Amino acid sequence: PLVSMTDMLNKAKEEKYAVGQFNINNLEFTQAILQAAEEENSPVILGVSEGAARYMGGFKLVVKMVECLMEEYGTTVPVAIHLDHGSSFEACAKAIHAGFTSVMIDASHDPFEQNVETTAKVVELAHFHGVSVEAELGTVGGQEDDVSGSIIYADAKECAELVERTGIDCLAPALGSVHGPYKGEPNLGFKEMEEIGKLTGMPLVLHGGTGIPVKDIQKAISLGTAKINVNTENQISSAKTVREVLAEKPDLYDPRKYLGPARDTIKETVIGKMREFGSSGKA
Ligand code: G3H
Ligand code: ZN
């Protein structure tokens, strides 16, 4: 069934595993991720960025597509449709009214007071509709970080204050993770993660899940991380499959013949992550 993230993440935090947020970019991504979740009997979060929603035809189309696939597949595992890095109250409101079951308001680039204000407004609307809310503090590296070029750690006291003043359901404190591939080994702030986890009591979210070694994943989970976001890894693995298929058969043009194999690759990648995160069998 379509659900918010709240119960999923509280259960994950309690039982020490993480639910994967896998970003969708098109029909094949959505099929692959839903199939993987059902096969693994795992809860799952479908991450939808504003750009991806625009690409696919809008928030409403995304909701209908997911609903239709779930009906077609007879999906039994909990599924959340989650706005990833929502850039404004308006974007979150649009997603909520289109039927999203969860939103992230990313006002992390704004001054703290403004972040609190915007986040609180989103929570008020979201909770009225039974929709869960994720907020962010600090700056995740990579793509998101086009302003300063540096990673800014979330401040523990601000995290506690944001949680208390807004009533969010989960918190993404930026602690050294990066969107897109890591240059070398990731260097995550586990000490800060532990402190923030304890101080807020919130299920924590780890952005930039692509390329994080299993030992770091396990450590993060042990410190209260209950949601891990993965996008790039599925993009890289499926693009590799498309390249291989087309290189092997230069005359091939039927999209089903290269997107089908790409879909299989995404499914395999997602299954691998679900097992790493410990969410398999937890639906
Ligand atoms: O919000 C999306 C995630 O943080 C994705 O990160 O593309 O590095 O896997 P990733
Ligand atoms: Zn992210």
Rounded to the nearest 5 degrees, what angle is found at the Cα of 42, between the Cα atoms of 41 and 46?
Answer: 130
Ligand 1 pocket residue status of 231, Cβ below 6 Å:
yes
Q: What is the pLDDT of residue 227?
A: 98
d(CA 273, CA 31): 16
Burial of 264 (0-12, 13-18, 19+ CB in 10 A): middle
| DSSP reduced 3-state for 132 | strand
d(CA 123, CA 222): 27
DSSP string, 183-216: SSS----HHHHHHHHHHH-PPEEE---TT--HHH
> What is the whole-number distance in angstroms between the Cα of residue 179 and the centre of ligand 2?
6
Ligand 1 pocket residue status of 106, Cβ below 6 Å:
no
Ligand 1 pocket residue status of 211, Cβ below 6 Å:
no
169 is catalytic: no
ipTM attached to this prediction: 0.99
> What is the whole-number distance in angstroms between the Cα of residue 74 and the centre of ligand 2?
29
Q: What is the pLDDT of residue 225?
A: 98
Let me know: does 133 contact 122? Beta carbons within 8 Å: yes
| Region at 40 (left for phi over 0; alpha for psi -120 to 50; beta for the rest) | alpha
d(CA 44, CA 33): 8
Q: What is the pLDDT of residue 148?
A: 45
**Size of the chain in residues:** 283
Ranges of residues in the chain with a pLDDT under 50 are 145-148
Q: What is the pLDDT of residue 80?
A: 99
Q: What is the pLDDT of residue 144?
A: 55
Q: Going by CA atoms, what residue is nearest to atom 2 of ligand 1?
A: 229
The owner of tokens 């969107």 is 179
List of domains in the chain? 6-238+266-277 (3.20.20.70)
